[in-house]
Chain A
Amino acid sequence: EAQVTQNPRYLITVTGKKLTVTCSQNMNHEYMSWYRQDPGLGLRQIYYSMNVEVTDKGDVPEGYKVSRKEKRNFPLILESPSPNQTSLYFCASREYSGANVLTFGAGSRLTVL
């Protein structure tokens, strides 16, 4: 089944404790991206990657890092999480096509105490 897989799905952590949210897609998509969803704000792009070893900042990149060492994986790294990073995170991928249809993972709900 074509899908984007994120882990963990739920995580409660404390301020300053480094964590990584993994993302993997099995559709051979070149493009991958991370979004966060917050109440009243919709989904906002954190980072994106057009291809392996090519990453760039989105609209809300502060406090996050990413890497793209292989096509299928695009982990999101929080080096020193803070409470304002408490959010619902979605990884997405896309093949290049006209309508810019993103395929999303199931989401990772992160709470930083």
Chain B
Amino acid sequence: DQQVKQNSPSLSVQEGRISILNCDYTNSMFDYFLWYKKYPAEGPTFLISISSIKDKNEDGRFTVFLNKSAKHLSLHIVPSQPGDSAVYFCAASPTDYYNQGGKLIFGQGTELSVKP
């Protein structure tokens, strides 16, 4: 069973507009949520994270929102740029870190395309 889900495989946005990428989770036992960006032929790179005790974290053009009651998080990119075109993965870090092998649990990924 997929504990972290990204239900949109792809998203296309015009340059300068807002990109909203969504992620749902089924388990409440996560203490951090992270977003990674992945370009072709490269490894995932860390973008932004949010603690489960917060509902918003902002870093420049990137903002992550966490709605714990809905078990939902979203990544907003404003304004979107063509260089943002990549696959975005959301990931969750279990609270029982050591028993879970220190792993991150990843969603399936959403491919964002920002058109000039």
B104 & A100 in contact (Cβ 8 Å cutoff): yes
Q: How far apart are A71's CB and chain B's nearest CB, in angstroms?
A: 16
Q: Is A33 an interface residue (CB 8 A)?
A: yes
- Whether the Cβ atoms of A90 and B32 lie closer than 8 Å is no
0/1 string, A90-113, CB within 8 A of B gives 1:
101010001111111111000000
With an 8 Å Cβ cutoff, the count of chain A residues facing the other chain is 29
B interface residues, tally (CB under 8 Å) = 27
Collect the chain A residues with CB atoms within 8 Å of residue B89's CB: 42-43
A58 and B106 alpha carbons, distance in the complex (Å): 13
Interface of B is mostly: loop
CB pair A102 B104 closer than 8 Å = yes
Asked whether B86 is an interface residue with its Cβ less than 8 Å from the other chain, the reply is no
Please tell me if the beta carbons of A105 and B97 are within 8 angstroms of each other in the complex. Answer: no
> Are A90 and B93 interface neighbours, CB within 8 A?
no
Query: Is residue B82 within 8 Å, beta carbon to beta carbon, of the partner chain?
Result: no
Write 6 A-B pairs (CB below 8 A) sorted by A numbering. A43-B44, A56-B101, A59-B103, A99-B34, A100-B93, A101-B34
